Amino acid sequence: MSERLQPGDTAPAFTLPDADGNQVSLADRRGRKTIVYFYPAALTPGCTKQACDFTDNLELLAGAGYDVIGISPDKPEKLAKFREKESLKVTLLADPDKKVLEAYGAFGEKKLYGKTVVGVIRSTVIVDEEGRVERALYNVKATGHAAKIIKDLGI
């Protein structure tokens, strides 16, 4: 099971394909704060709600200096369908080998309907302008999560 990140840790570097197959790196966001959220699967109810909430608040977050990146183990083709179907504006990245999910502590054992399973742990890591972890939130709820982050950040 992967280690969970703590505030002050250096955020693990990554370069992953987006919904169009273009490579996107965390390093490209240097100088801006980035909200990196990890979700189990595109086109599922909870993940759709979360992605739509971030999309609805993207302008507000961008105005406060935050970029938003969603990462799941889905392939770019599925992310493209997800983006089109839900009119998503957040950057969606594919991590099918789960290397980035593991590096961020967002993959491992979790409780699902009372059973222990191994899978994506719905998580959000806020990375500062220097690439350090500002906040690391694990086992977050899909519904209301974007609003909670906005409130916690004082935006």
For the annotated catalytic residues, the residue numbers are: 47
Question: Which amino acid type is present at position 10?
Answer: T
Pinpoint the alpha helices (H) of 13-144: 45-56, 58-63, 76-86, 99-103
- What the block records as the tokens of 22 is 């273009």
Tracing tokens 């350090």 back to the chain, one arrives at 132
Per the CB < 8 A criterion, the answer to whether 93 and 85 are in contact is: no
- Distance CA(96)–CA(136), nearest Å, equals 22
CA proximity to 33, closest of 140, 130, 100: 130
Q: What is the DSSP letter of 9?
A: S
Pairing of strands 123-127, 33-38: antiparallel
